[in-house]
Amino acid sequence: MSMQPRETETGEPVGGAETERPGSSRRRRLLRLAFIGLAWLAGASAMGFVLVALLSHLQVQPETLATLQVWATQIRHYGALVQCMVVAGIGIWWQAIVAWGARRGIVRPREHAQVIALRWKVMAFLITYLLLIPVGPATLLRWLQA
């Protein structure tokens, strides 16, 4: 028996220090996602604390608060419009998004055709989201009664 390292057909070493444990890349990816989620949560919390501190420092009068509420109601429609454009973009560029996911290792090669076929289900889910959250049942009812 020789003590030479084993190699694959392409000449790459099998086992040894060069290879990683099977679950380490998945674990690293999950840790990275958890870290990103915690960073977003910390950022949103910090912005909320700053906003509360600013509003308590300013001691907003009720008339000013009513004006801010009207302004927020008017600008809400622009947020819904931006979300509609994002959903339309996802529908239009679905194949490019899946290709990007494949390059990043999110979509495996054997799953590629299945994910491409999910386009209509994803769009149905996103449109349902748009109708229930940003647009809202009250707005839909108002549109149906008009």
Say if residue 98 is exposed, middle or buried (CB neighbours under 10 Å; 0-12, 13-18, 19+). buried
Q: What radius of gyration, in Å, describes the C-alpha atoms of the chain?
A: 25
Instruction: For residue range 40-89, list pLDDT tens digits in order.
Output: 999 988 888 888 888 777 776 778 878 888 888 888 888 888 999 999 99
Q: Supply 129's token pair.
A: 């989201």
pLDDT tier at 107, thresholds 50, 70, 90: very high
User: For residue 130, which of 74, 86, 69 has the smallest C-alpha distance?
Assistant: 86
CA distance 140 to 79: 16
pLDDT tier at 5, thresholds 50, 70, 90: low
Instruction: For residue range 23-54, list pLDDT tens digits in order.
Output: 678 888 888 888 998 999 999 888 888 888 88
